[in-house]
Structure 1
Amino acid sequence: MKYIRKSISRGVANHGWLKSKHSFSFANYYDPKHMGFSVLRVINDDTVAPGKGFGAHGHRDMEIISYVTQGSLRHKDSEGNKHVVSVGEIQRMSAGTGVRHSEYNASNTDYVKFLQIWIEPNKRGIKPSYEQKNIPQKGALTPLITTTGKDGSISIQQDASLSRLVLKKKENFTLAPIKQSGYLHIVKGELVVEGHSFVAGDAFSVEPSEILEVEAISTLEALWFELPAKY
């Protein structure tokens, strides 16, 4: 655990309609100690007011992932994709040569909460693409995004993967990335590892060939990234 990121020390932005917590430097929040981890560049914990959202804006050469934890998110982009992303679903947009998109709260009465995740691609100038799926949990660790889209996961333009870790109270799990670097971001619940307690919004790294056993203090939901060790 060379890198530990505590929720309480994340960057905070409050725009009224949008409240966001930044794990890494983003927009007006800058901290040279927290610029990203490997090819993982952004994890924004966003809460958007009813009927509000991000108007049409452009991106290029970035893998952009949305993971909804409450409510529904309405997506529209310049490639003709129009979708609603609900709780438990995951969305991946490869910006490639350039795409414009908007993301709005699909509800006029309830808040939507989601994690906005950016991963740098291993190839630039690709054709923009979009995938969205509801992937049922299969055991403790379920692949959501992989390089090849194996086992029903969503593909990504990077030698990286993202899985959902779900544990019951007092259940244990071993994190062992082997050849890649690991990064665990807690979505809900609490866990303990090597005497350290981590709660929702906290995160920590796992070095290649390092083995860490975590124990859930309460029902746990977390996102487990495996990323290039050398970058």
Structure 2
Amino acid sequence: MLQVWRADDRYRGGEADAGIDTRHAFSFSGFYDPDNVNFGLLVACNEERLAPGAGFEEHPHRDVEIVTWVAEGELEHRDSAGHTSLVRAGDVQRLSAGSGVRHVERNAGEGPLRFVQMWLVPGAFGTEPEYEVVHGIADNTPFALPRTEAVLHVRRLAEGERTAVPDAQWVYAHVVRGRVVLDGHELAGGDAARVTEAAELEAAALGGPAELLLWEMHAEPSYG
């Protein structure tokens, strides 16, 4: 089954006065929908737009896997474990909060910053925090998320180019830019598709180049 979620249906959050525009795909912070709390292991998919100098002050996380894909600009990361980095377009950042970590994120560039931040539930809790950045991840290079049964696939497609969608119990597709056709459904930037029991599906760029994130997931959250 494939269900389309449009960009305009996302919950609008953030702090406009602080230069932060957030668009949530799932229940998050002050917005709660009991029928939209997760899909597979994914519990958040936030599109973030930060003005130059804007950002999130130090705040804590625990027992969550946070994966960030920068679409435009430069993201500065600092955390309580001593990690500091600049994450740029085409980089994948992973923060495994484990037993607990605090971090700061801000727009370190002179232009706008746009990124997609995705949270997943790990398979084990209370583990040691971890952090890494994969710089310039290549297309068709699966990024297997440690401590989970989830894999991120990045697809940057030329006009008309087609790509296979992973076969999995749960597949989440997010269009970063451009337009994509997935199983007969047209998706534009910010749109997403949630597919259960995905098998032998393809996606194709429509009317120009497109960028697509695909989560392949083989489990749901277990808190026992």
Unaligned runs of 5+ in 2: none
1:225 corresponding residue in structure 2: 215
Unaligned runs of 5+ in 1: 148-155
Q: Is the 8 A contact 2:41 2:219 kept in 1?
A: no
Q: Is the 8 A contact 1:192 1:198 kept in 2?
A: yes
Residue 18 (str. 1) matches residue 20 (str. 2) = yes
| Stretch moving more, 27-36 or 215-224 | 27-36
Q: Identity percentage over the alignment? A: 35
Pairs within 5 Å for 1:93-172: 93-107=95-109, 109-138=110-139, 141-143=140-142, 145-147=143-145, 156-172=146-162
Pairs within 5 Å for 1:139-218: 141-143=140-142, 145-147=143-145, 156-177=146-167, 179-208=168-197, 210-217=199-206, 218=208
When normalised by structure 1's length, the TM-score is: 0.88
> What amino acid is aligned across from residue 26 of structure 1 in structure 2?
F
Q: Is the 8 A contact 1:71 1:86 kept in 2?
A: yes
**Distance (Å, rounded) in 2 between the aligned partners of 1:100 and 1:26:** 19
Q: Is the 8 A contact 1:176 1:206 kept in 2?
A: no
When normalised by structure 2's length, the TM-score is: 0.91
1:6 corresponding residue in structure 2: 6
Runs of 4+ in 1 over 4 A off after TM superposition: none
Instruction: Count the aligned residue pairs.
Output: 218
RMSD: 1.6
Q: How far did residue 181 of structure 1 move?
A: 1.8
Q: Is the 8 A contact 1:3 1:204 kept in 2?
A: yes
**Distance (Å, rounded) in 1 between the aligned partners of 2:182 and 2:64:** 32
